[in-house]
């Protein structure tokens, strides 16, 4: 029986009936992509116990041919350092039964698992989902260490896939890219998004929006400033001061939510800022459909699924020139993460030209179709098959 071990930066919750749950993304449907090739999957992830009430509305993780291999539930570098030996032993146990592995990076926990994959000398592939230089920008030691580690790891991996088409490949070249591909070393690129045809909408029609402008922003985890919540709140303040009746909806939740709510109140626009909390993907689509524009001043990304989903709905999008985002949006719609004035002036210009907004809507839908599930599934499946062949040999 062919089983693949997949280590990811997820946080799982185990209820007393032995079932596993997660807040977003890493539900059972996510792991099914690996079952297209492998007979079973061992998901290696940080896990803690939880009550049934705590996981109400969460996604079920385990299921037919998908099991969980638990790691200690730790958050923050201090916690990892304090419990290093405990985590080290759990990572070693997780790897002992593996025949091949897929490591999703950057991730502190998955990086520790990778060390034992290399020591055991089993075939492995890396899925590069973001740039650690940006992801760990708030911790210079972690930033330096994990950037260096990723550069080294992709040169040792049998296979490397990237969420970007160009950017991450150039910064973190695989062995296949450096020395040329062969049956043991290979490379691919694909997004982690599962975008089905029914998610798409038709191009939006716009009228002058001076009287009412609805802006939306999506980030499942609101635990820091990396997704630009602060910038968008300041943009909203600028537009409100320019007599634009603006309302902003932030989709997602996390420990920093109260900080941003307080910021909005102190700027006098608390009544214009709405946080939905974590909501199911079908509800996310409803909020996107009701919006006029998607603004995403992110400071760290791979290739953001949030932007692709907004594009698929036909929303005009403004974002930042971070990592893979320029592969999605044209330069004129990209601003530095803290450029409140630049974002504000662009929005003011756009609401005066509904024809330009309609052109953006049409182009965004066409671009998003490059990330349809069927197209990406073929690339993922081919990538996983190459790893499986090596493991079987």
pTM: 0.88
**pLDDT higher than threshold 80 for residue 376:** yes
Look up residue 10 and give its two tokens: 């997820």
What's the confidence (pLDDT) of residue 116?
Answer: 95
| Element holding 282 (H helix, E strand) | helix 281-290
pLDDT at 14: 97
Where do the domains of the chain lie? 3-195+372-392, 197-371
Q: What is the DSSP letter of 204?
A: P
The Cα–Cα gap between 393 and 386 comes to 11
Where does residue 282 rank: exposed (0-12), middle (13-18), buried (19+ CB within 10 A)? exposed
Q: Band the pLDDT of 211: cuts 50, 70, 90.
A: low
Cα 382 versus chain centre, distance: 22
CA nearest to 192, candidates 389, 383, 388: 383
* CA–centroid distance for 343 within its chain: 23
Identify the band that residue 279 occupies on the pLDDT scale cut at 50, 70 and 90.
confident
CA 62 to chain centroid, in Å, comes to 21
What percent of the chain lies above the pLDDT cut of 70? Answer: 98
Please check whether the two domains, 3-195+372-392 and 197-371, share a CATH topology: yes
Q: CA-to-CA distance for 160 and 181, rounded, in angstroms?
A: 11
- Contact between residue 246 and residue 274 where contact means Cβ atoms under 8 Å apart: no
Q: Would you state the structure tokens that stand for residue 96, as one six-digit string?
A: 């002992």
Query: What's the rounded Cα separation, in Å, for the pair 217 and 310?
Result: 9
* Sequence-separated (6 or more) residues with CB below 8 Å from residue 320: 228, 296, 297, 298, 299, 301, 334, 335, 336, 337
Pick left, alpha or beta for residue 323 (phi over 0 → left; psi -120 to 50 → alpha; otherwise beta).
left
Q: Residue 362 pLDDT > 70, yes or no? A: yes
Per-residue pLDDT of 301-347, as tens digits, reads 888 999 999 999 999 999 999 989 999 999 999 999 999 999 999 99
CA distance 190 to 56: 32
- pLDDT at residue 374 greater than cutoff 80: yes
Query: What are the structure tokens assigned to 321, written together?
Result: 């020139």
In this structure, are residues 134 and 164 in contact, taking their beta carbons and an 8 Å threshold? no
Residue pLDDT, tens place only, 94-116: 898 889 999 999 998 899 999 99
Between 3.90.1150.10, 3.55.50.30, 3.40.50.2000, 2.40.160.210, what CATH number should domain 3-195+372-392 receive? 3.40.50.2000
Q: Which of these ranges, 137-141, 257-261, 278-282, 378-382, has the smallest mean pLDDT?
A: 278-282
Distance CA 337, CA 228 (A): 7
What is d(CA 32, CA 217) in angstroms, rounded to the nearest whole number?
Answer: 28
CB 387 within 8 A of CB 283: no
Domain 197-371, architecture per CATH: 3-Layer(aba) Sandwich (3.40)
Per-residue model confidence (pLDDT) at position 84: 80
């Amino acid at each position: 029986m062919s089983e693949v071990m997949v280590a990811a930066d997820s946080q799982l919750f185990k209820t007393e009936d032995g079932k596993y749950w997660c807040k977003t993304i890493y539900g059972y449907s996510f792991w099914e992509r690996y079952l297209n090739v492998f007979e079973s999957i061992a998901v290696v992830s940080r896990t803690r116990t939880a009550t049934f009430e705590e996981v109400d509305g969460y996604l079920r993780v385990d299921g037919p041919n998908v099991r969980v291999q638990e790691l200690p539930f730790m958050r923050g570098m201090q916690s990892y350092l304090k419990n290093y030996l405990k985590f080290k032993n759990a990572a070693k146990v997780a790897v002992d039964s593996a025949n091949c592995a897929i490591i999703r990076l950057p991730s502190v926990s998955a990086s520790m698992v990778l060390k034992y994959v290399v020591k055991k000398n089993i075939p492995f592939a890396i899925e590069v989902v973001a740039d650690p230089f940006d992801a760990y920008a708030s911790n210079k030691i972690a930033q330096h260490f994990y950037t260096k580690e990723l550069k080294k790891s992709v040169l040792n991996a049998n296979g490397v896939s990237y969420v970007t088409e160009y950017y991450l490949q150039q910064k973190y070249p695989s062995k296949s890219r450096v020395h040329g591909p062969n049956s043991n070393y290979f490379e691919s690129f694909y997004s982690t998004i599962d975008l089905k045809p029914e998610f798409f909408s038709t191009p939006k029609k716009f009228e002058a929006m001076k009287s009412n402008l609805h802006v939306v922003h999506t980030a499942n985890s609101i635990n820091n400033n990396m997704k630009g919540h602060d910038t968008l709140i300041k943009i909203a303040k600028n537009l409100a001061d320019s007599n634009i009746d603006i309302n902003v909806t932030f989709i997602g939740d996390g420990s920093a939510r109260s900080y941003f709510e307080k910021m909005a109140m102190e700027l006098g626009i608390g009544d214009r800022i709405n946080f939905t909390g974590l909501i199911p993907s079908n509800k996310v689509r409803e909020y996107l459909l009701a919006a006029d524009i998607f603004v995403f001043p992110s400071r760290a990304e791979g290739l953001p699924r949030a932007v692709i989903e907004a594009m698929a709905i036909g929303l005009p999008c403004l974002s930042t020139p971070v990592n893979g985002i320029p592969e999605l949006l044209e330069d004129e719609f990209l601003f530095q993460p803290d450029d409140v004035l630049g974002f504000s002036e662009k929005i003011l210009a756009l609401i005066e030209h509904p024809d330009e907004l309609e052109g953006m809507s049409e182009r965004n839908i066409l671009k998003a179709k490059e990330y349809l599930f069927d197209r990406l599934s073929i690339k993922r499946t081919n990538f996983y098959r190459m790893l499986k062949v090596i493991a079987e040999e």
